[in-house]
Amino acid sequence: MSAQVKKQLEEKMNKTIEALKSEFTTIRAGRANAQMLDKIRVDYYGTPTPVNQVGAISVPEPRTLMINPWDKTVMAEIEKAIRNSDLGLNPTNDGQVIRISVPALTEERRKELAKQAGKVAEEFKVRLRNERRDANDKLKKMEKDGDITEDDLKKSQDEVQKLTDKFVKEVDALLKAKEQDIMAV
């Protein structure tokens, strides 16, 4: 296989796996983690701003998140954004910091989150398959242009498939670990 095509494909697939890991951190498990709030946007003077850019987020206890806003005038907006998110969290504001108690997950909510993780994993498998298709298209073009032989094309496509299978297995392993994390009581 063209070493360059293989290298590019492997780099893209590694980036896809890293993006999946990042996405999984935003799906809530039983414990509090600051990444849970990564997708929440706060209306900061008319601009949707990530919550981690309007205050410092800390985890003082395993089931508590604390946000210390740099600008105290935005506290109501932070509270509103968290309440309106799909995380099911209820923030409290003492005038200085916002505390968020992360309740234990119900069995029903755990199953819902596991299902959500499955959908995310499937989206990333589709990305991997698209990357495989792009690599195969490049290889076919190389064969058409006379850069590689038909035998090289076949061998290269087999290598692309093996690489894709390896990364799909990694997605499955990450999903299994995330589901176990979600379902752990």
pLDDT digits (tens, 9 = 90+) for 86-116: 777 888 888 888 888 887 778 887 888 889 8
Q: Does CATH number 1.10.132.20 belong to domain 1-28+106-184? A: yes
pLDDT band at residue 185 under the 50/70/90 scheme: low
Q: What does the pLDDT look like over 113-130, one tens digit per residue?
A: 889 899 999 999 999 999
Q: Is the pLDDT of residue 21 over 60?
A: yes
Ordered alpha helix ranges (H), 26-106: 75-84
How far is Cα 110 from Cα 30, in angstroms, rounded to an integer? 9
* β-pairing verdict for 64-69 and 90-93: unpaired
Q: What does the pLDDT look like over 33-64, one tens digit per residue?
A: 777 788 888 888 888 888 888 888 888 887 88
Report long-range pairs for 2-9 (Cβ below 8 Å, ≥24 apart).
2/138, 2/139, 2/142, 2/147, 2/148, 2/156, 5/135, 5/138, 5/139, 5/142, 5/156, 6/135, 6/156, 6/159, 6/160, 6/163, 8/135, 9/131, 9/132, 9/134, 9/135, 9/160, 9/163
Q: Is the pLDDT of residue 1 over 60?
A: no
How far is Cα 42 from Cα 54, in angstroms, rounded to an integer? 8
Phi, psi for 61 (deg, rounded to 5): -140, 160
Q: What percent of the chain has pLDDT over 90?
A: 28
Name the residue ranges covered by the structural domains of the chain.
1-28+106-184, 34-101
CB atoms within 10 A of CB 137: 10
CATH number of 34-101: 3.30.1360.40
